[in-house]
Amino acid sequence: MERKASRRENECEEKNSNSESSELDKDYKTSLITLNVGGYLYITQKQTLTKYPDSFLGGIINGRIMCPFDADGHYFIDRDGLLFRHILNFLRNGELLLPEGFRENQLLAQEAEFFQLKVLSEAVKSRWEKEQLASRETTFLEITDSHDRSQGLRIFCNAPEFIAKIKSRIVLVSKSRLDGFPEEFSVSSNIIQFKYFIKSENGTRLVLKEDNTFVCTLETLKFEAIMTALKCGFRLLTSLDCSRGSIVHSDALHFIK
């Protein structure tokens, strides 16, 4: 009799455990929401969409706003499906995080207003205004010899992203070709300063090594900067020091779009 009673107790506990597990699975599944935004499917949690209860998405989940369903029974929102990833990331992270080179600020601001996310809309507009202000300011990059400032090159441009591209290119080449010499150059916000330039009969060369050969001259660097600028749609406005008689011999370049 004791064995039978014990067996029944174990069966009841197992049933209760299975029932609780089933309820948890059910609750978890109902907490997941699938949205069809302009043909793109997004799966997220209910608590993410209701982070701002007064927003458009919060209204849909709370039943305050009626939303149509697609053929598969998912909420359908007729908005930009690609840009919605940034809306969802904002709800998940609580801050505006956009990929490098993002250029659709105006469209994203409109999407934020549609979804009634005032905080996001203001963040996008603030970012947009800063980019507009930065684009009107001339940015420069100076590559110089720490012992002789007259030896070097200055690049001016009204597009900070172009200066950043040239800067990253020089740093990348320098690091890859300076094996064992990590202290040969230093980088600040707008200046790349080499410990020294090597002077030879062929002109001044940067300390960039590959197979123990000095491979990068200032002239090479100027040509690379000019070619990169042209490929990016910029034009060479003027050489800021025309007294040298040639772009190759000038110590400054000015690009504009």
d(CA 218, CA 255): 18
pTM: 0.49
Would you kindly state where each structural domain of the chain is located, as residue ranges?
23-135, 140-256
Q: Which two tokens stand for residue 37?
A: 């935004």
State the pLDDT confidence band at 134, using cuts at 50, 70 and 90.
Answer: low
Q: Is the pLDDT of residue 226 over 60?
A: yes
Assigned CATH for 23-135: 3.30.710.10
Supply the mean pLDDT for the chain.
Answer: 75
Q: Which residue has the higher pLDDT, 70 or 21?
A: 70
Q: 9-64, pLDDT tens digit by residue? A: 555 565 555 555 555 444 444 689 999 999 999 999 999 999 999 999 999 999 99
Query: Residue 134, SS3?
Result: helix
Based on DSSP, count helices (H) and strands (E) in the chain, helices before strands: 8, 13
